[in-house]
A and B are shown apart, each in its own frame.
Chain A
């Protein structure tokens, strides 16, 4: 059923377009990251009067919103194309999605670069950026929604053509991720369209700050799951094939995705634990819901390592850890995602600290949080994305991952791991000592406390520099795979089920049920607090332009 032939030229061109934007973003956003760590070390001043917060905004928007969204939409299109196919009309809509997102990105990026939007990627009111910034972001989201509906349509058409059959696992996973993305981004879209755009254009005098923040974080946490789920897709359904094994359990994989859908959205308050204006009981309820994602996460961890062990033993590797020693460590398509999985252990543990009702107070808004998401997103997710790119890009361009490029990839992975270990560890420690996040270099009162922070900031500059070398190498590998590697066929690895696998229960594909439960949970977690926020709202906030240098 799974074809491993190359895509048609027309189809491949669409998917590659997303990859080009992804890697261009990596270079721009990574350069900004390098400048930040250097600037924060206190040893280096930004040239040409560039403001620290301008590059910080570019870094966050380009890497957090643009790179991730483009990679995910492109990768998911490729997965759908491979498993359920894409029609000519759907492909055309895919291009409309691409251009809408790209135009939005360019508008937002230009606004930031001319200094009209130093508001960071969270754009908290009542700091007011130029209206073009919000309009650009809205277009990125609208473009991604087009992709959402193309993906839904693809599965629907396939279902019609294959009545009674269960959908391909990867197509199912893409649909879950897109359903989650759509439900979650309704929050930020509401805030941008109803609150920010009229207010930034002067049609509304004031803005409800707490409401805008609540709508933002309703979206902001599912956003990180939107990044993570494509990595999970690769771990569940692609890595097993790369190591020469089979899918561990189709039903288990679907179950964990359903649980992630349900528990990723009604949890936004754990980002708002230290805010006034939200009742502590409701904060607590969302903390409990946040913790529920522990279940699918542990299921994922189990099934991945179970696949590793089963595969190794089947190949005849003996002893308690023989199977582990014989994993394909020299295959970058395996090594990069594997290191990502390892980084998810401390990353996930740190996340539990962040989400905890009381422990959060110690680390809220310290650079610990930055360290946390550089482990989870910038290591776990990104290394898995790199691992995907090593086979996806040559597959799309009709080239091969040569042994030489594979070796460079391994070096890249090691550089990334070393750089991120240094940077993220020093961020975590500095955060525990109270060092704030998203601040330019400052020795504040010059006290003893501050001097301990600055030494960790120097360590972050060292880590940041190593990471930037890794980025340059990754860009080089990408260009090789896209344009210069020898022609050939690179496998699109999709794992198959065991021959004697138990049938997947039909209920797992009951979309009405799972989306219904998700909506019920969201209504439970948000209805009363949001009514509270609106009913007890203070006089609205006027816009502020001067604090961001406009």
Chain B
């Protein structure tokens, strides 16, 4: 097949940038270990309480070590269950100090949901039968809205929570 000289230059340039992009993505993935969320742990969606992390008393924020936190959440249409406070009221806000390491663990009892801490890289699909897990360092202070970003039914837009990162 005949290729024009300029076409060859153009394709060499294109293939070169393609190779460069892939090397960068591969470097970040396999040397730096920044894969998107992925976790092959399954759970019975009709009995999520059987899992240690998702027993009602274990839901919500817990400090597991100095500056290290775990948040356990059960999603269902149209609510994130993040446990209850001292008065027995449902928790809607999580507060962690700036710079802390937070492991989010979430599953769903019913349909597919999303879990995104808006403005950060915490962004997971939550699927029935699977545990979604992501650990991150909260580097920036501020109030972040958690939104369900996968359509889960007609109350989808009422499903939210807040993460506050304080100085």
Contact = CB atoms under 8 A, between A and B. Distances in A.
Interface of A: 51-53, 118, 120, 122, 124-127, 209-210, 213, 249, 251-252, 255, 272-280, 283-284, 287-288, 291-292, 294-295, 298-299, 302-303, 306, 352, 356-358, 360-362, 364-366, 433-442, 444-445, 447-450, 502, 505, 508, 532, 536-542, 544, 546-549
Given A274-B124, A356-B25, A358-B29, A280 B110 contact: no
Lowest 5 CB-CB distances: which A-B pairs, in order?
A547-B153, A434-B118, A538-B129, A538-B42, A442-B157
B160 A547 contact: no
A450 B156 CA distance: 16
Nearest to A436: B149
A276 B116 contact: no
Contact of B154 (A53, A283, A358, A444): A53
Nearest to B17: A294
B157 A502 contact: no
B114 interface: yes
Contacts of A362: 121, 123
Interface stretch (B8-16, B55-63, B67-75, B95-103): B8-16
B35 A357 contact: yes
B42 A440 contact: no
Q: How large is the interface on B (under 10, 10 to 19, 20 to 34, 35 or more residues)?
A: 35 or more
Contacts of A298: 10-11, 14
Contacts of B90: none
Interface in B31-45: 34-45
Given A361-B121, A447-B143, A537 B116 contact: no
A274 B123 contact: yes
B111 interface: yes
B82 interface: no
A542 B46 contact: yes
B29 A280 contact: yes
A358 B94 CA distance: 26
B65 interface: no
Contacts of A448: 143
B21 interface: yes
B153 A274 contact: no
A432 B133 CA distance: 23
A360 B29 CA distance: 13
Contacts of B45: 538-539, 541
A538 B118 contact: no
Contact of B147 (A51, A358, A436): A436
Nearest to A439: B157
A444 B1 CA distance: 58
Contacts of B22: 288, 291
Contacts of A449: 118-119, 143-145
A442 B158 contact: yes
Nearest to A275: B125
Contacts of A440: 156-157
A502 B2 contact: yes
Select the residue from B143, B148, B150 with max chain A CB neighbours within 10 A. Answer: B150
B18 A365 contact: no
Interface in B134-167: 143-145, 147-158, 160-162
Select the residue from A126, A278, A356 with max chain B CB neighbours within 10 A. Answer: A126
A487 to B, nearest CB: 43
Contacts of A544: 77, 110-111, 153
B131 A276 contact: yes
Contacts of B161: 445
A133 B3 CA distance: 49
A180 B114 CA distance: 31
